[in-house]
Chains A and B, each alone.
Chain A
């Protein structure tokens, strides 16, 4: 039988359609409410990100450039083979100034072969020409005002409430904006997943009560890690503050990094 449209029938259909549309968000909201409860109590199990604030500090005066941290980070986080690093060590070599130039310091060399994982080659200049040389471990600076978070077009990278800057691997579209935006060069494109990747502060470890892998294996306690919301009686961070005058990398950019450095030279950036 052919249906005959009249005003009453048409309005009835529109009404049904609107009711149907209304029912969808109601069902969805109910599902979301259930999932929110599940999400907040499931993984990371028993961990409340609002009750922690993680902090990393690096005492450059103690770094011996052994590369254990880089190796541990690669193994712990299954970082792909090749020139991909979530943390790495840079060797700075600052030459004596040439006589008669009136300069305080000479040329600066920075290298990080294999991220410093397999040690460092001979110095680029003879030892007697060296003014100062040292190692600087680098990692995500955990900025308070992160450039990478601002540029992400899909909200896939974010500042977690506990201070970690993380990437949502399922929502990253691999556009690479964040890799260009990071002024510290801390991000890379994972060649296997084609998504951006960076230091997560070993989020899977700190949420289980372990230290990040690089901190765990650092033989000289160059890397100091702690929780600002739950300080321990002999907190390594407190000791670090007592012993050192702290700096951050590239303070003029206003990113307010939460990774603090002690003992870096003016050439370090």
Chain B
């Protein structure tokens, strides 16, 4: 096979000089390799919502909740939830006092945390920084014991047991 004969592919485009045709082919190869590399390196969900990986939304949301939410509590403890809703503590969600409840929802044998005196004081200990409308006491002067529930019903704080 001799060089530069009529069967050469370049000879099929007689009007384009071979050196120009080579330049065109080289440019096309570079452009296509750029797009090839881009398609390979860009994550599939990139650009789904914007200039970021759309799959990240799902990955961030994949964590399991630790706090179950008041609705989950009401499924079994509807009486307690109803009692709470009519009293002075009606703005409180169950998990404010009883702690994160998803483990208890998944396995009712695992009981929520037991509350102590310090839990009431956490909100109701008097502080000048607290807003005036909020009920506060100087616990040292108010009560010498360690069991607030002697006088106050937590689910209905205005009632006396």
Contact = CB atoms under 8 A, between A and B. Distances in A.
A190 interface: no
Interface in B37-54: 38-40, 44-45, 48-54
B58 interface: yes
B63 interface: yes
Interface of A is mostly: mixed
A158 B54 CA distance: 10
Interface string A75-106: 11110000000000001010000000000000
A219 B92 contact: yes
Nearest to B68: A210
B68 to A, nearest CB: 8
Most interface-central of A6, A22, A25 (chain B CB within 10 A): A25
Nearest to A206: B61
A67 to B, nearest CB: 7
A65 B125 CA distance: 11
Nearest to B56: A168
Interface stretch (A130-138, A179-187, A251-259): A130-138
Interface stretch (A139-147, A159-167, A225-233, A239-247): A159-167
B58 A205 contact: no
A263 to B, nearest CB: 9
A220 B9 contact: no
B121 to A, nearest CB: 9
B5 to A, nearest CB: 9
A199 to B, nearest CB: 11
A8 B16 CA distance: 17
Most interface-central of A134, A213, A216 (chain B CB within 10 A): A216
Contact of A158 (B38, B50, B127): B50
A76 B102 CA distance: 10
Contact of A21 (B3, B29, B61): B29
Interface stretch (B75-83, B128-136, B147-155): B128-136
Contact of B63 (A7, A77, A158): A77
Contacts of B4: 7
Given A155-B52, A168-B52, A204 B29 contact: no
Contact of A217 (B33, B45, B95): B95
Contact of B52 (A32, A47, A91, A156): A156
Contacts of B45: 35-36, 39
A43 B67 contact: no
A49 B49 contact: yes
Contacts of B128: 123, 127, 130, 133
